[in-house]
């Protein structure tokens, strides 16, 4: 499917809210309600709007749900960060979301943290309900230096006087995403900005979400979870990723579900899923052609 044909038939997405596990969760709902479902989940300090290109590409054939994780974007911030900012609670949110929407089965596409949530769901509360799993630059083990890098910037979000200055910051810190057009950088910024009481702007997430690494230090040690998966898995690894190391990706080929591993040139952590080559690869995997 070409970009032109996808954009010509895509319906306007719907912005929706549901209370899941007692917390209001925001999500974008793309495509026909009676189509096969794809749940597209964003990374640690991001929002569901990062999945706009993927959702627009897939929505002529799929219903694509793009949640904001609790504490991110337009979803509620947790009143209990130590207990709720963790993969197990995120998996409960995903299960509640699908249950309330009466969705029995769905594909899962997850970037970074979103992929880790997908692994936990596919091995646990949504076992048998996830059809295919795409892990975008995430695996069952993470490079400690990269985790520390992410914790450093995510736990102390920068603040700026102007939105343009915030965009310049995003262009630097998210340079490993690979190519984004000027319009995509602008949208990334405008869909993940909040204004502070002093008038400055900062990324739209709860800084307390990094407590996950303090109170749940082994949350991302997922080899037992990965080895138990019984669904087809596609792993996309940014060629320059410092989070998903080459040896981990290679081991994913040989263990558990024996993932199909594809290296994405020109990216680090993590490919933005915003260009035709990446989008077509994901679609072909979902349709069983990879």
Domain ranges (residues) in the chain: 14-287
Mean pLDDT score, 193-219: 96
Q: Rounded to an integer, what distance in angstroms lies between the CA atom of residue 240 and that of residue 146?
A: 12
Determine what percent of the chain is predicted with pLDDT higher than 90.
92
In DSSP terms, which residues pair with 244 in a beta bridge?
Answer: none
Query: In this predicted structure, what is the pLDDT of residue 135?
Result: 98
Whether domain 14-287 has CATH 3.40.50.1820: the reply is yes
Query: In this predicted structure, what is the pLDDT of residue 3?
Result: 42
Query: What is the DSSP track for 130-152?
Result: EEEEEEES--SS--HHHHHHHHH
Token pair of 73 as six digits? 């974007």
How much is the pTM? 0.95
In DSSP terms, which residues pair with 201 in a beta bridge?
Answer: 160, 195
Give the pLDDT confidence of 256-266 residue by residue, as tens digits.
999 999 999 99
Determine what percent of the chain is predicted with pLDDT higher than 70.
97
Kindly state the helix (H) or strand (E) to which residue 168 belongs, with its residue range.
helix 163-173
Give the pLDDT confidence of 101-158 residue by residue, as tens digits.
999 999 999 999 999 999 999 999 999 999 999 999 999 999 999 988 888 888 889 9
DSSP class of 264: E
Residue 11: pLDDT band with limits 50, 70, 90: confident
Is the pLDDT score of 10 beyond 70?
Answer: no
Query: In this predicted structure, what is the pLDDT of residue 8?
Result: 44
Mean pLDDT score, 172-184: 96
Residue 1: pLDDT band with limits 50, 70, 90: very low
Mean pLDDT score, 207-213: 95
Q: Rounded to an integer, what distance in angstroms lies between the CA atom of residue 226 and that of residue 267?
A: 24
Sheet bearing 260-264, strands edge to edge:
14-20, 23-30, 63-67, 37-41, 106-111, 130-136, 233-238, 260-264
Query: In this predicted structure, what is the pLDDT of residue 9?
Result: 54
Is the pLDDT score of 46 beyond 70?
Answer: yes
């Amino acid at each position: 499917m070409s970009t032109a044909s996808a954009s010509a038939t895509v319906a306007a997405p719907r912005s929706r809210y549901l209370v899941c596990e007692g917390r209001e969760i925001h999500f974008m709902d793309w495509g026909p309600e009676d189509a096969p479902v794809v749940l597209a989940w964003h990374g640690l300090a991001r929002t569901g709007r990062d999945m706009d290109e993927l959702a627009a590409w897939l929505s002529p054939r799929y219903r694509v749900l793009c949640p904001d994780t609790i504490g991110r974007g337009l979803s509620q911030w947790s009143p209990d960060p130590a207990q709720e900012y963790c993969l197990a609670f995120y998996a409960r949110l995903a299960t509640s979301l699908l249950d309330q929407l009466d969705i029995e089965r769905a594909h899962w596409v997850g970037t970074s943290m979103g992929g880790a949530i997908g692994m936990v769901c596919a091995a646990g509360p949504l076992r048998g309900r996830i059809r295919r799993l795409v892990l975008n630059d995430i695996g069952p083990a993470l490079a400690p230096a990269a985790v520390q890098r992410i914790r450093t910037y995510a736990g102390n979000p920068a603040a700026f006087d102007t939105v343009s200055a915030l965009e310049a910051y995003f262009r630097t810190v998210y340079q490993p995403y690979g190519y984004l057009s000027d319009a995509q950088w602008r949208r990334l910024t405008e869909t993940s900005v909040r204004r502070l009481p002093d008038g400055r702007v900062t990324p739209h997430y709860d800084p307390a979400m990094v407590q996950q690494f303090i109170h749940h230090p082994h949350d991302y040690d997922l080899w037992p979870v990965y080895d138990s998966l019984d669904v087809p898995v596609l792993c996309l690894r940014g060629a320059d990723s410092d989070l998903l190391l080459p040896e981990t990706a290679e081991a994913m080929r040989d263990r558990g579900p024996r993932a199909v591993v594809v290296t994405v040139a020109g990216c680090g952590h993590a490919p933005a899923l915003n260009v035709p080559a990446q989008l077509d690869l994901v679609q072909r995997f979902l349709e069983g052609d990879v």
